Amino acid sequence: MISFHQVIFFLPQTHFFSIIIVGEKSMEVKKDDIAKDLRVVASVYNIVMKPFKLQVKEPKKKTIEVKKPKSMGPVKSIYIPRKDESGLRLLVIDSKKRKSRMGVLWIHGGGYVNGFPEMAFITMAKEISKKCLVVSPSYRLASSYPYPAALEDCYTTLLWMHEHADELGIDKDKFAVGGESAGGGLTVALCLLARDRKEVNVMLQMPIYPMLDCRSDTKSMEDNNAPVWNEKSNIEAWNIYLRDIDKDNVPYYASPALCDNYAHMPPCISFVGDIEPFRDETVTYINRLKEVGIPTDFAIFNGCYHGFDIIAPGSKEAKEAKQFFINALDKYL
């Protein structure tokens, strides 16, 4: 049985003095620890997906086509120039019915080594796009381009959105950044970079079960064998992403958990499952934001593994997570 000292599940933590306590025991996940609605999907996932093995090699496919849901607004791909004049593909999703002028930069997940912007069609970005303009970059993956390539592409996207705000129909002072998993880690890194460079003001961050800590030494990470993402896959992914960096001098833009000052960061919306490896590093990040007075809306979902809202969107837990997220987002629109 999992031991986790957490008083409140599925309840936004908005008070600066409300500190959540991280786990005290390592995380070996058993079937009974997984929420009932998520067990069958987890079993199928483990059978269908081969053991996760990350390799440093050029992806075979440059682009992947994913069918857009009918409920989403118009979607288009455009290319913008990087500093080296190569093209950076952006997926732009714009609902004709949106009333908000907030522009959302959404960063896909995939452990820094996999993924593509069309994942927005099945993640929380799908819900956001009903209310806001969403731009998702096809950032360079660590399988071919280790840190800082992905972060540089995200920052290039943010600058482009700022420079083309009028054309996009968004406000220059109303930007949000969000993403899931590695995209959540890049969300926090990008907010730190924007804070420090002072070129664009980010008013809201939305890191969902973010990948923040390259040390992989939290109790929820230790011995974690949960479905989808676990201790082994996490260590492999970090090694690939940071392979060109001295491990004793990792910058906090690469691993945001290493930052010692989160002052002046934007308000935060986040959630995480209680049996997934990123639980403790997410909780620690939320607590540290609160310590410096940053407003947060945060929820922990019992019995949920990494990516549960994507893997099992019809589950009770995924529906609750979506509703929590939408309610929190509405306060900023």
**Is the peptide bond prior to 148 cis by the omega test (within 30 degrees of 0)?**
yes
Q: Quick one: how many helices (H) and strands (E) in the chain?
A: 9, 8
Q: What is the mean pLDDT of residues 207-220?
A: 97
Q: What percent of the chain lies above the pLDDT cut of 90?
A: 77
Specify if 264 maps to a domain: yes
Nearest alpha-carbon partner for 177 in 111, 272, 268, 104: 104
Angle, in degrees to the nearest 10, between helices 149-163 and 182-197: 60
Range of the domain at 142: 31-330
pLDDT at 16 over 70: no
Residue 66: per-residue pLDDT: 55
Statement: residue 46 has pLDDT above 80: no
Q: Smallest Cα–Cα separation from 274: which of 85, 79, 25?
A: 25
Q: What is the pLDDT of residues 132-162, one digit of tens each?
A: 999 999 999 999 999 999 999 999 999 999 9
CA distance 54 to 87: 26
**DSSP character at residue 23:** P
Phi/psi of residue 289, each to 5°? Answer: -65, -45
Provide the number of structural domains found in the chain.
1
Nearest to 186, CA basis, from 139, 234, 231: 139
- Predicted confidence (pLDDT) per residue in 50-89, tens digit: 444 554 444 444 444 556 776 677 899 999 999 999 999 9
- Is position 6 within any domain? no
Q: Which of 101, 73, 71, 107 is CA-nearest to residue 168?
A: 101
pTM: 0.88
Residue 255 lies in a domain: yes
Residue 184 lies in a domain: yes
- Residue 173 counted as domain residue: yes
Helix (H, G, I), strand (E, B) or coil at 301: strand
Q: What angle do CA 138, 144, 146 make, to 5 degrees?
A: 85
What pLDDT was estimated at residue 96?
Answer: 73
The answer to the question of residue 9 being in a domain is no
The CATH number that applies at residue 326 is: 3.40.50.1820
Phi and psi at 9, nearest 5°, equal -110, 145
